[in-house]
């Protein structure tokens, strides 16, 4: 068990460019979450997947954002036409819901996005 991994760890881009982040959850975890954390704030929920199905999106997830989890394993989060307001830490978390008990979400190290 290597934990949740995220790549890249840092991304600097120019306004208007597209960026894509990847999250690899803990292998047996069937649920995967994306959060966004801006400076001085707590993480805020963006979306989540149960296996390969995207079940909920928050209002924070504008049309420029899209997330996928094609085979129920890794997930990608793409931001199109980035804006300076997209600068934040993007966190991924995974959890196993199969045991019937509620377990804590395990977080990855995050991808820090800076939009110039």
Partner 1 sequence: AQKVTQAQTEISVVEKEDVTLDCVYETRDTTYYLFWYKQPPSGELVFLIRRNSFDEQNEISGRYSWNFQKSTSSFNFTITASQVVDSAVYFCALSVQTGANNLFFGTGTRLTVIP
**Could you say which of 15, 44, 60, 78 contacts partner 1 (CB under 8 A)?**
44
Q: 92 has which bridge partners?
A: 34
**Could you say which of 40, 53, 63, 99 contacts partner 1 (CB under 8 A)?**
40
- Structure letter (DSSP) for residue 84: G
Which region among 17-25, 65-73, 77-85, 87-95 touches partner 1 (by CB under 8 A)? 87-95
Residue whose entry in the numeric block shows the structure tokens 């934990």: 3
30 and 49 in contact (C-beta within 8 Å)? no
65 and 77 in contact (C-beta within 8 Å)? yes
Residue 81 beta carbon to partner 1: minimum distance, rounded to whole angstroms: 26
Question: What phi, psi does 89 have (nearest 5°)?
Answer: -95, 130
**Residue with Cβ nearer partner 1 (18 or 114):** 114
4 and 24 in contact (C-beta within 8 Å)? yes
**Could you say which of 23, 89, 113, 115 contacts partner 1 (CB under 8 A)?**
89
Per CB under 8 A, which of residues 48..77 are in contact with partner 1?
48, 55-56
Count residues binding partner 1 (CB under 8 A): 27
């Amino acid at each position: 068990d290597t934990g949740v991994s995220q790549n890249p760890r840092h991304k600097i881009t120019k306004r208007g460019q597209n960026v894509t982040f990847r999250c690899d959850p803990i292998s047996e975890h069937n649920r995967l979450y994306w959060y966004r954390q801006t400076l001085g704030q707590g993480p805020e929920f963006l979306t989540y997947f149960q296996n390969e199905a995207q079940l909920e999106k928050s209002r924070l997830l504008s049309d420029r954002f899209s997330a996928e989890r094609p085979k129920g394993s890794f997930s990608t989060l793409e931001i199109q036409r980035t804006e300076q307001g997209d600068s934040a830490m993007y966190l991924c978390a995974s959890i196993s819901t199969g045991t019937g008990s509620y377990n804590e979400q395990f977080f990855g190290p995050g991808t820090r996005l800076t939009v110039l």
